[in-house]
Amino acid sequence: MVLNKKLVIKVLCAVMALVGFLMLIPCTVSLIYGETVSARAFAVCAVPMIAAGYAAFRLTKAPDTNALGLRDGFFIVASAWFVLSLLGSLPFMISGTIPNVFDAFFETASGFTTTGASILPGVEDLPKGMLFWRSFTHWVGGMGILVLTIAILPALGIGGQKIMRAETTGPSMDKMTFTFNDTARSLYLIYSAMTVIEVVLLLISGMDLYDSLVYTFGTVGTGGFATKNDGLAGYAVSSQIIIAVFMMLAGINFNLYYLCLNKKAGQALKDPELKCYLGITGGSTLFIMVMLIMSGQAAGIFDSFRLAYFQVTSILTTTGYSTFNFDLWPLPVKVVLMMLMFIGGCASSTGGGMKVIRVMMAFKIAWRGVQKRIHPSALAPVKIGGRIVPQDIMRSVSEFLILYLATLLFGTVLVSLEKVSLMTAFTSVLACFSNIGPGFEAVGPAMNFGFYSGATKLFLSVLMIAGRLELFTIFLMFTPAFWSKR
């Protein structure tokens, strides 16, 4: 295999130094709250990482070429995410908050991939600095660490298109018309603006600054780490609604916001995926509302709306916050929530899952099969929003969908080796793979992943990263073709 090794090393060093810088933020938080142990842990990690990253970056000779091959792109992204999760877990281990290496890796991978699955039985007695770092990883991972690296370090001078494609989510229907560095920067600009607005709104609704920051990170990154054991149940209704709305906004394709900024709001509103996304949100909220009222689990129409809307946006965007233990809800509601887990957010959003656009195509592909069977000679192109989807995109979508299902099945079989029920195994895999967080039964919203063995935790962490990077980037590393000389 011919990798552009110098370039790979340079990028990885940049990522390492960046993580070091980012750790200074929770370090400050720890100092503010007077938690010297955590502050020291962050400092012990951050300083060497910045120094080593900078030194190695400088010492590595300039690569012969800045050309980034296909393999380089995949390799950089895949390795960066593993390095990131490993480095990010160091403060947890050093401070003794999460001493076990598998636990710490799981927790950090869950943070960066915006999954929000936790191995901690209770979080309320954890140091504030650690909890802040845990949630901050959501914010960093939501938009992609490499996109961030490239956005603030244009000096790397590498064409980021390939990396961008490997790290952002969803099939791209049209070529980006704007230049890459612009895109990365404006995406982060929109992302940051959203963050600031939500923090301000949450402050107004009566949350303190710390909590509003933590929940905002979890919301806009569609992560799901909380600071309370019962999630958001204890907060004011207004805060819950604000969080629900922002979860929904974070699940929308960020390129649409970019269009809006460029005064093309009309075009953005016509987006078929957006319509479908809003339709799914509305439809399932209505269904769950009715079911909750009928089963007597909600006090009134507003109450059931609040519960249903919050849970639908939380699961559909793969955030995983909860205001109620939804594992106790009626079975049809649970099945609907499970289907939302499959669907996930829109393409190019911070959400995980299969993505709305792919699910839309799944239905069209299935239906096309029927048409082709009856009229074998018919062309029957798949259309989304009146536009014909190119054949190769359609094929890659169906390959993605089947690989997704196959991984779920295979993962379930592996996880079922633990002494758990079949549904626990299945929802554990689904919750990690779709980057949601909580599942049902033994990994329900009131439970945690702590009881799994180290090997299973490692496996689930890999699944989280694979799910976040849309399968192929990670799975490619395990194919002989990737490492062969040709």
Partner 1 sequence: MQSVNRSNQNKMRLVSSIWLAACILGSLPYLVTGYADSPVSAFFLSVSSFTTTGASLGSGLDGGLLLYYTTCQWLGGLAILVFLSSLLPSVDSDSKSGLDSSFAGRSFSEVIKSREGNMLFLIYVSISLIMFIVMVCLGHVPLEALELTLTVCSTGGLGGTAFSAIDAGIKGTGAICIASMILSTISFTVYARLIRRDLAYVKKNTELRAYACLLVSSTLLICAANRISGVIPDIWQSFRAAGFHAVSFSSTTGLTNGNINSWPAFSKAVLCMLSFFGASSVSTGSGIKLIRIIIAMKAIRRSFYRRIHPRVVMSLRINGKAISDDTVDQVMSFIIHYALLFLAGCFVFSFSAPDLETAFFSSSSLINNLGSGFGAVGAECGYDFLGPFGKLFGCFLMLAGRLEIYALMLPFSRDGRK
The span from the CA of 107 to the CA of 432, in Å, is: 11
Q: State phi, psi for 256 to the nearest 5 degrees.
A: -70, -35
Q: Does 363 bind partner 1 (CB under 8 A)?
A: yes
Q: How far is the CB of 7 from partner 1 (least distance, A)?
A: 17
- Looking at the DSSP bridge assignments, the partners of residue 387 are 384
Of positions 236, 328, 388, 422, contacts partner 1 by CB under 8 A: 422
Shortest Cβ distance from residue 401 to partner 1 (Å)?
6
Backbone angles phi, psi at 383, to 5 degrees: -115, 135
Distance (Å, whole) CA 39 – CA 130: 9
Q: Confirm or reject binding of residue 453 to partner 1 (CB under 8 A).
A: no
Token pair 């953005």 in the structure block, residue: 268
Cβ atoms of 249 and 194 within 8 Å: the answer is yes
- Our CB check for partner 1 shows the closer of 177 and 484 to be 484
Please report how close the Cβ of residue 70 comes to partner 1 at its closest, in angstroms.
Answer: 6
Residues in the chain: 486
**419 touching partner 1, by CB under 8 A:** yes
Site string for partner 1, 285-324 (x = CB under 8 A): ----------------------------------------
Contact 361/384 with Cβ under 8 angstroms?
yes
Q: Which of 33, 82, 210, 475 binds partner 1 (CB under 8 A)?
A: 475
**How many Cα atoms sit within 13 Å of 84 on the Cβ side?**
31
Exposed, middle or buried: residue 279 (CB in 10 Å: 0-12, 13-18, 19+)?
exposed
Q: Which of 58, 374, 379, 485 binds partner 1 (CB under 8 A)?
A: 374
Q: Which two tokens stand for residue 453?
A: 């063995």
Query: Pattern 252-281, binding to partner 1, x per CB under 8 A?
Result: ------------------------------
Size of the residue set binding partner 1 (CB under 8 A): 58
**Binding segment toward partner 1, per CB under 8 A, in 83-91, 132-140, 191-199, 403-411:** 403-411
Do residues 27 and 136 lie in contact, with contact meaning Cβ atoms separated by under 8 Å?
no
120 backbone dihedrals φ, ψ, rounded to 5°? -85, 125
**CB nearer partner 1, residue 256 or residue 308:** 308
Q: Indicate whether 93 belongs to the interface with partner 1 (CB under 8 A).
A: no
Residues 319-348 that bind partner 1 (CB under 8 A): 331-332, 334-336, 338-339, 342
Cα 232 from Cα 323, distance rounded (Å): 5
d(CA 335, CA 293): 17
Q: Which residues of this protein are in contact with partner 1, per CB under 8 A?
A: 70-71, 74, 331-332, 334-336, 338-339, 342, 362-363, 365-366, 368-378, 395-396, 398-399, 401-403, 405-406, 409, 412-413, 416-426, 440-441, 472, 475-476, 479, 481-482, 486
